[in-house]
């Protein structure tokens, strides 16, 4: 039984370091409250600490700054509001409580609007919370300035405590023997889309911290590079649905499983006889060459116009020969044509010569594609080849961990949850009761 299977037996979820640090920060705020002889507003300091504890130091600093700005803005408007009430009380004027509540609500509007004017909208909700927390105790209030200063002091205490606690590194061990397999379809909606900035930040941070992450794509390297942007990927990626291993930093193919020439030649003649458009993908000297044949339909034309300027692929005029290593050949057409073609091919003697996959074409309604690979060109075989390569290169026993998500892309939140799960396995926080 490997470590991944053992982890799946645990009923309770992993105890993350953010939870632990939040508990420590709250405890320190309570201790400070005790050392101050129970002076001030302890709820304010603890709430500030809870809000400001973030997964990383940069987020904590940003949240802390927003918290200070929000506190000062909300407190300033609250002081003005309470001073107005003190002035009215001094004149013997006691407005009806409903009128006071109306003015409080208008104070919320003014507080929020002031954050817009000052271009500090990230502090808007915090400013409104501080304002209402100060003024809502009316008419049981002390001096406005004393109340406001207590709130500001305790907020700063919580912010400082959160910053100090979040700078502490809890005991943990990086499992550098782990190799995480993640499909690109779990991170981006389709091959033409780009991964969100939030997903890329988490993914890049994991890679920078030494996590071995192998991305798996159904498509050629150009699509993955476009989807993921600039990344210092430290592990070769599986591309073309298992037909090749590609080293992105060095722009070279480590492993290619091409179709046999007889199988490719059969498809070429067959498509030409039917008058269908097709494309054959060849790896040559670590470059991807694309041969197009037959009439060019709408689907082929749109993809060609979109990808012809890509630096990671080359469209070749002419035809391929016996010495060309064709990784796969594909045909794209209307759904009804592809369905009929699939039935005809499965009933012919070509069975066993190909691994055939049918895929819908994103951004092209009612169009599908048939993709033909060598039967030995599979993702599982590529995974094993990569494991063997890394074990030989790093002289360690690799622990493969499949992080496959759902069958289709769901949402950015699901992608982030998947990457957070990778972090929990790769770099778990060690607490006394965890083995």
Mean pLDDT, the chain, rounded, equals 82
pLDDT band, residue 431 (cuts 50/70/90): low
Alpha-carbon gap, residue 337 to 345, rounded angstroms: 12
pLDDT of residue 60: 61
pLDDT for residue 2: 46
Alpha carbons 278 and 238: distance in angstroms, whole number: 23
Categorise residue 239: left if φ over 0, alpha if ψ from -120 to 50, beta otherwise. Answer: beta
Task: Confirm whether 232 is domain-assigned.
Answer: yes
Where does 374-411 show beta strands of DSSP type E? 399-402
Instruction: Report in angstroms the alpha-carbon separations of 32 from 43, 129, 277, 302, 390.
Output: 12, 23, 74, 65, 51
The answer to whether position 433 is within a domain reads: no
Q: Do 217 and 148 belong to one domain?
A: no
Evaluate if pTM is beyond 0.85: no
pLDDT band, residue 23 (cuts 50/70/90) = very high
Residues 107, 113, 118, 120: what is their CA dihedral angle, to the nearest 10 degrees? 100
Regarding whether 27 and 134 lie in a shared domain, the answer is yes
Its domain, for residue 137, covers 17-166
Output the six-digit token pair for 26: 């709250």
Task: Indicate if 46 and 117 belong to the same structural domain.
Answer: yes
Task: Mark which of 336, 355, 373 sits at the end of a domain.
Answer: 373
* Residue 216 buriedness (CB in 10 A; 0-12 / 13-18 / 19+): buried
pLDDT given for residue 383 in this prediction: 93
CA distance 391 to 388: 5
Q: How far apart are CA 177 and CA 387, in angstroms?
A: 10
Residue 65 has pLDDT above 90, yes or no: no
- pLDDT attached to residue 81: 86
CA–CA distances in Å: residue 51 to residues 132, 237, 256, 408:
18, 38, 50, 34
pLDDT, one tens digit per residue, over 146-165 is 777 877 888 888 888 988 88
Tens-digit pLDDT profile for residues 296-316: 777 777 777 767 666 667 788
Same domain, 149 and 35: yes
Residue-by-residue DSSP string for 311-338: TT-EEESS---TTS-EEEEEEEEEHHHH
- Are 149 and 274 within one domain? no
Residue where the block lists tokens 């919580």: 158
In a domain, 4, yes or no: no
pLDDT of residue 433: 46
* 2 in a structural domain: no
Percent of the chain with pLDDT over 90: 18
Which of 45-49, 93-97, 124-128, 261-265 is most confident?
Answer: 261-265
The reply to whether 308 and 293 lie within a common domain is yes
**Top mean-pLDDT range of 7-16, 52-61, 310-319, 423-432:** 310-319
Model confidence at 1, pLDDT cuts 50, 70, 90, reads very low
Q: Let me know whether 288 and 416 are in one domain.
A: no
Strand, coil or helix: 31: helix
Same domain, 323 and 391: no
With a cut of 70, say whether residue 412 has pLDDT above it: yes
Cα four-point dihedral sign 56, 62, 63, 67 = positive
How much is the pLDDT for 328? Answer: 93
pLDDT at 384: 94
Q: Is residue 10 part of a domain?
A: no
Concatenated DSSP letters of 197-252 = HHHHHHHHHHHHTT-EEEEE-SS-HHHHHHHH-S----S-EEEGGGTEEEETTTTE
Q: What percent of the chain has pLDDT over 70?
A: 86
Q: Is residue 3 part of a domain?
A: no
Higher-confidence residue of 22 and 432: namely 22
Indicate the pLDDT class of residue 6, thresholds 50, 70 and 90: very low
Phi first, then psi, for residue 430 (nearest 5°) are -95, 120
Residue 371 in tokens = 């993709």
| 163, two tokens | 């910053």
Kindly report, residue by residue over 83-140, the tens digit of the pLDDT.
887 788 777 777 888 888 888 899 999 999 998 888 888 778 878 888 888 887 766 6
pLDDT at 140: 64
Token representation of residue 221 = 């390297």
38 and 80 share one domain: yes
Same domain membership, residue 162 and residue 190: no
Q: Domain containing 407 — which CATH number?
A: 3.40.50.1000
pLDDT for the residue numbered 430? 59
So what's the pLDDT on residue 404? Answer: 79
Pairwise CA distance, residues 224 & 307, whole Å: 13
Residues 122 and 268 in one domain: no
Domain finish residue from 373, 397, 416:
373
Where do the H-state alpha helices sit in 235-353?
261-274, 298-307, 335-346
Could you give the 3-state DSSP secondary structure of residue 359? strand
CA–CA distance, 200 with 194 (Å, rounded to integer)? 10
- The set of residues, in sequence order, having a beta carbon less than 8 Å from that of 203 and lying 6+ positions away, is 187, 195, 213, 228, 231, 419
Whether 5 is in a domain gets the answer: no
The pLDDT, as a whole number, for residue 38 is 87
319: domain CATH number? 3.30.1240.10
User: Does residue 388 have a pLDDT over 80?
Assistant: yes
- Structural contact between residues 128 and 108, judged by C-beta atoms closer than 8 angstroms: yes
My answer on whether 243 and 272 are in the same domain is: no
Q: Is 233 within 8 Å of 224 (Cβ atoms)?
A: no
Last residue in a domain, options 337, 354, 373: 373
Q: What is the pLDDT of residue 171?
A: 62
**Model confidence over 347-384: pLDDT tens digits?**
665 557 889 999 888 777 888 889 999 999 999 999 99
How many structural domains compose the chain? 3
Q: Output Rg (C-alpha) for the chain, integer angstroms.
A: 31
pLDDT-based confidence at residue 240 (cuts at 50, 70, 90):
very high
Assess if residue 328 is contained within a domain: yes
pLDDT of residue 48: 81
């Amino acid at each position: 039984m490997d470590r991944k299977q053992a982890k799946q037996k645990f009923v309770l979820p992993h105890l993350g370091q953010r939870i632990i640090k939040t508990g420590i920060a709250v405890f320190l705020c309570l201790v400070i409250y005790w050392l101050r002889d129970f002076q001030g507003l302890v709820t304010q300091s603890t709430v500030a600490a809870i809000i400001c504890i973030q997964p990383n130091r940069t987020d904590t600093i940003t949240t802390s700054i927003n918290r200070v700005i929000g506190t000062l803005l909300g407190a300033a408007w609250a002081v003005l509001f309470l001073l107005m009430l003190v002035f009215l009380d001094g004149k013997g004027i006691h407005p009806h409580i409903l009128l006071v509540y109306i003015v409080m609500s208008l104070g919320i509007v003014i507080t929020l609007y002031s954050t817009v004017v000052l271009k500090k909208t990230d502090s808007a909700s915090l400013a409104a919370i501080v304002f209402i927390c100060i003024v809502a105790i009316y008419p049981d209030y002390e001096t406005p300035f004393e109340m406001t200063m207590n709130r500001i002091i305790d907020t700063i205490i919580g912010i400082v405590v959160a910053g100090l606690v979040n700078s502490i590194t809890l005991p943990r061990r990086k499992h550098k023997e782990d190799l995480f397999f993640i499909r690109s379809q779990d991170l981006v909606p389709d091959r033409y889309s780009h991964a969100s900035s939030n997903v890329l930040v988490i993914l890049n941070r994991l890679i920078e911290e030494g996590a071995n992450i192998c991305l798996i794509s159904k498509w050629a390297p150009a699509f993955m590079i476009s989807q993921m942007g600039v990344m210092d990927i430290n592990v070769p990626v599986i591309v073309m649905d298992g037909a090749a291993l590609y080293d992105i930093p060095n722009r070279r193919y480590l492993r290619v499983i091409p179709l046999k020439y007889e199988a490719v030649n059969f498809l070429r003649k067959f498509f030409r006889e039917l008058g269908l458009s097709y494309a054959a993908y060849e790896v040559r000297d670590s470059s991807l060459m694309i041969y197009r044949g037959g009439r060019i339909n709408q689907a082929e034309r749109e993809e060609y116009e979109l990808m012809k300027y890509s630096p990671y692929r080359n469209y070749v005029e002419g035809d391929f020969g016996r010495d060309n290593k064709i990784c796969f050949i594909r045909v794209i057409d209307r759904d009804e044509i592809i369905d009929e073609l699939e039935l005809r091919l499965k009933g012919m003697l070509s069975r066993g010569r190909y691994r055939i996959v049918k895929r819908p074409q994103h951004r092209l309604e009612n169009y599908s594609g048939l993709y033909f690979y060598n039967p030995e060109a599979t993702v599982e075989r590529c995974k094993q080849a990569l494991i063997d390569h890394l074990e030989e290169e790093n002289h360690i026993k690799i622990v493969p961990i499949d992080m496959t998500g759902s069958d289709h892309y769901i949402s950015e939140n699901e992608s982030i949850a998947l990457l957070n799960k990778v972090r929990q396995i790769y770099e778990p926080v060690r607490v006394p009761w965890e083995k």
